[in-house]
């Protein structure tokens, strides 16, 4: 459609368009990279405009003017999210932050709780039917224009045409400003590669093939995407599309084939990145853009089975409370989409959420796993909403766990130099036992090499990994699930109790080198439970004593043999030359396990009921 032929009276200059804004008007401005830069500059340059309130979600162009006193005398900025461009202005009190869930912002406009007089938007040129596209900024833009008395559109040939609910007919727009300029770009800054790589490694362990992902705002969530490049048939349902998605789309890692809601399509609301990204989404039917009240609706999100939300945080306290919009009293970002997707993923069949953050800030001077949130810090995400928390030191699982378990889980993934002080604070607050031992202060990343998986003949998978302090409750449950005979064969007496003190003694002696315990975990209705434990403990400089216990319903499946092989590999790395073991005479199955792996082992009777086994590594 040719606008000059169809509605020439609507085509005006930017100066004439913004002159329609009157003193005291409430003006909505399109979001982020979709903001109409030319119109914004014209509005600011019009000295006649006074006492104007501007509502915007993500803002960048206004950052050029916020340090000008005359600007503040004429304009009041109210933002739903504080971009990096506007952060200093927020710290200095030059803008007003409106905290609200992204899914609910459109409702504020439709209900007239926030009234709008004018909307400034940016669109692509109309097609032959008269439909322009909102392009990379659908999000809250449609709600903004729907509820403004006057809609002014900058028509920019650089704006991509996006599929979905992004189209606006020219009849819905009051005046057009024809102006071509590059779409604003947002290229994320670089994060510490080592930290990002380690966090990406842990997140990749949690993401299964066929999962549907949401990746939240921020540099870190975007950066970890590349560590999912070995996955298959991932789907995307997310607020924001960035350049981080491009390699996965091109490699066909993201296919959306397994999605249960709008399969085959990337569902999104907003696009922020480079021109390369904008060229990729332009007229690409794999992308399905919808407004924020749809994309961020927890009930809609939950229609995706195996929905995994990945977002970031500024700090997490030891009970699981998350702050992500302020540094103490200083407003830093916004609530955004985190809570919407945490709750939507929790409602999803097989879904869950991940909060990812580096363990420290300010060059390792400050822990981001904290005893309590900073004074003034906002709690948008409650401790009841959080499932997994990931740092470069591991994965903490909080869902369904008490405060004492949460303390141990989160301390375990804090930076090693802060772990002791976190435990001491938790004791003072009576969150944990007074005699609770702190996790190791070593960097235990090398334990990742000791993870393994065994697939049984019945199709079940057993995950093996070293025992951690946070496994105390699971270890207790494992012990009490065993039959009396199994316990007797392992401990040589009818052990009745597996108390907190006994469990602490067990893992306190594990240094992951000379002394080691490995657990076997099996999936059971959305969580993992221990079904086997194998350990070795130093007996002499070159020999360690080894022992096992396997839950009865998994005995006879080769698990003890597999554990023995796994422990031998670790023992060799730590300079051991062989194992020893003490076995009850009646425990024929364990004797057979040792004979099978070590045909030259020596067996010696001790006291008539015990057998001492000496096994040398080949």
Per-residue model confidence as pLDDT tens digits over 232-288: 999 999 999 999 999 999 999 999 999 999 999 999 999 999 999 999 999 999 999
485 vs 393: CA distance, rounded Å: 38
Helix (H) or strand (E) holding 293: helix 292-295
pLDDT for res 436: 79
Tokens representing 38 are 């030319």
124 vs 276: CA distance, rounded Å: 17
Specify whether the CB–CB gap between 213 and 249 falls below 8 A: no
Tokens representing 484 are 């009396």
Query: C-alpha distances in angstroms, 373 versus 88, 315, 363?
Result: 22, 7, 19
> What are the tens digits of pLDDT across the range 27-67?
999 998 999 999 999 999 999 999 999 999 989 899 999 98
The β-bridge partners of 154 are 122, 177
Residues of the chain with CATH 3.40.1080.20: 193-428
520 vs 516: CA distance, rounded Å: 14
Beta strand 212-215 with 235-236 is parallel
Looking at the chain, the whole-number percentage of residues with pLDDT higher than 90 is 69
Q: Which residues of the chain have pLDDT under 50?
A: 492-493
pLDDT for res 608: 67
Q: Where are the beta strands (DSSP E) in 392-442?
A: 394-397
Helix (H) or strand (E) holding 77: strand 75-79
Residues of the chain with CATH 3.40.1080.10: 3-178
- Quickly tell me which residue has 């103490």 as its tokens: 328
Tokens representing 94 are 């030059």
pLDDT for res 500: 64
DSSP single-letter state for residue 310: E
Beta strand 360-361 with 366-367 is antiparallel
Q: What is the domain class of 193-428 according to CATH? A: alpha beta
pLDDT for res 494: 54
pLDDT for res 508: 61
Axis-axis angle for helices 403-412, 472-481 (nearest 10): 120
Specify whether the CB–CB gap between 543 and 576 falls below 8 A: yes
The β-bridge partners of 53 are 26, 76
The β-bridge partners of 122 are 154
- Quickly tell me which residue has 């080894």 as its tokens: 546
Residues of the chain with CATH 3.40.630.30: 445-616
The β-bridge partners of 327 are 330
CA torsion angle 125 131 137 142 (round to 10):
140
Q: Note the CATH architecture for domain 445-616.
A: 3-Layer(aba) Sandwich (3.40)
How big, in percent rounded to 5, are the helix, strand and coil portions of the chain? 35, 25, 40
Helix (H) or strand (E) holding 215: strand 212-215
CA count, 13 A, side-chain hemisphere, 402: 9
pLDDT for res 325: 86
Question: Fold for domain 3-178?
Answer: Glutaconate Coenzyme A-transferase (3.40.1080)
Looking at beta carbons, which pairs linking 82-87 to residues 24 or more positions away fall under 8 Å?
82/325, 82/331, 82/332, 82/333, 82/334, 83/32, 83/58, 83/59, 85/59, 85/60, 86/59, 86/60, 86/62, 87/332
- Quickly tell me which residue has 């869950």 as its tokens: 352
Instruction: Compute the chain's Rg from CA coordinates.
Output: 30
**Cβ neighbourhood burial of 434 (10 Å; 0-12, 13-18, 19+):** exposed
137 vs 240: CA distance, rounded Å: 10
DSSP single-letter state for residue 502: H
Residues 6+ apart with CB under 8 A from 70: none
Specify whether the CB–CB gap between 508 and 456 falls below 8 A: no
Specify whether the CB–CB gap between 400 and 345 falls below 8 A: no
């Amino acid at each position: 459609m040719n606008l000059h032929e169809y509605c020439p009276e609507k085509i005006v200059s930017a100066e004439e368009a913004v002159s329609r804004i009157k003193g005291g008007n409430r003006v909505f401005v399109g979001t982020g990279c979709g903001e109409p830069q030319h119109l914004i500059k014209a509005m600011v340059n019009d000295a006649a405009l006074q006492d104007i309130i501007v509502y915007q979600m993500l803002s960048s162009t206004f950052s050029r003017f916020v340090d000008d006193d005359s600007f503040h005398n004429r304009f009041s900025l109210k933002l739903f999210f504080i971009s990096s461009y506007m952060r200093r202005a927020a710290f200095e009190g030059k803008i007003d932050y409106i905290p609200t869930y992204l899914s609910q912002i459109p409702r504020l406009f439709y209900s007239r709780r926030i009234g709008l007089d004018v909307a400034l938007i940016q669109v692509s040129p109309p097609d032959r039917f008269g439909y322009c596209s909102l392009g990379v900024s659908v999000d809250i833009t449609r709600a903004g224009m729907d509820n403004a008395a006057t809609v002014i559109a900058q028509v920019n040939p650089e704006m991509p045409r996006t599929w979905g609910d992004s189209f606006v007919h020219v009849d819905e727009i009051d005046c057009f400003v024809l102006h071509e300029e590059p779409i604003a770009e947002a290229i994320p800054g670089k994060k510490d590669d080592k930290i990002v790589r380690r966090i990406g490694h842990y997140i990749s362990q949690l993401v299964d093939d066929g999962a549907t992902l949401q990746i939240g705002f921020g540099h870190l969530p975007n950066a970890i995407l590349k560590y999912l490049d070995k996955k298959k048939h991932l789907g995307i349902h997310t607020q924001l599309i960035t350049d981080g998605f491009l390699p996965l789309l091109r490699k066909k890692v993201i296919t959306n084939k397994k999605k249960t809601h709008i399969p085959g399509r990337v569902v999104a609301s907003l696009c922020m990145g480079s021109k390369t990204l904008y060229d990729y989404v332009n007229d690409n039917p794999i992308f399905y853009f919808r407004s924020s009240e749809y994309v961020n609706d927890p009930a809609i999100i939950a229609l995706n089975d195996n929905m995994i939300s990945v977002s970031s945080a500024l700090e997490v306290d030891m009970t699981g409370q998350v702050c992500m919009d302020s540094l103490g009293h200083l407003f830093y970002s916004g609530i955004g989409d985190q809570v919407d997707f945490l709750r939507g993923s929790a409602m999803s069949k097989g879904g869950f959420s991940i909060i990812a953050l580096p363990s420290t800030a300010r060059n390792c001077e400050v822990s981001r796993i904290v005893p309590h949130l900073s004074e003034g810090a906002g709690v948008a995400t409650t401790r009841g909403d959080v499932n997994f928390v990931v740092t470069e030191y591991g994965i903490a699982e909080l869902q369904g766990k008490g405060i004492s378990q949460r303390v141990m889980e989160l301390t375990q993934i804090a930076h090693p130099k802060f772990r002791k002080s976190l435990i001491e604070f938790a004791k003072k607050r009576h969150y944990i036992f007074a005699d609770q031992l702190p996790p190791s202060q070593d960097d235990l990343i090398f334990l990742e090499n000791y993870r393994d998986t065994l697939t049984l003949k019945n199709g079940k998978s057993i995950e093996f990994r070293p025992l951690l302090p946070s496994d105390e409750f699971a270890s207790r449950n494992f012990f009490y699930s065993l039959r009396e005979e199994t316990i007797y064969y392992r401990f040589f007496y009818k052990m009745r109790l597996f108390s907190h003190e006994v469990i602490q003694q067990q893992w306190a002696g594990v240094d992951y080198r000379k002394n080691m315990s490995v657990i076997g975990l099996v999936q059971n209705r959305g969580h993992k439970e221990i079904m086997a434990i194998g350990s070795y403990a130093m007996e002499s400089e070159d020999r360690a004593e080894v022992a096992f216990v396997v839950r009865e319903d998994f005995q006879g499946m080769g698990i003890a043999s597999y554990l023995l092989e796994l422990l031998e590999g670790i023992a060799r790395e730590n300079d051991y030359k062989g194992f020893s073991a003490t076995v009850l005479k009646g425990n024929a199955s364990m004797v057979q396990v040792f004979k099978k792996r070590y045909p030259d082992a020596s067996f010696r009777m001790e006291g008539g009921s015990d057998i001492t086994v000496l096994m040398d590594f080949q």
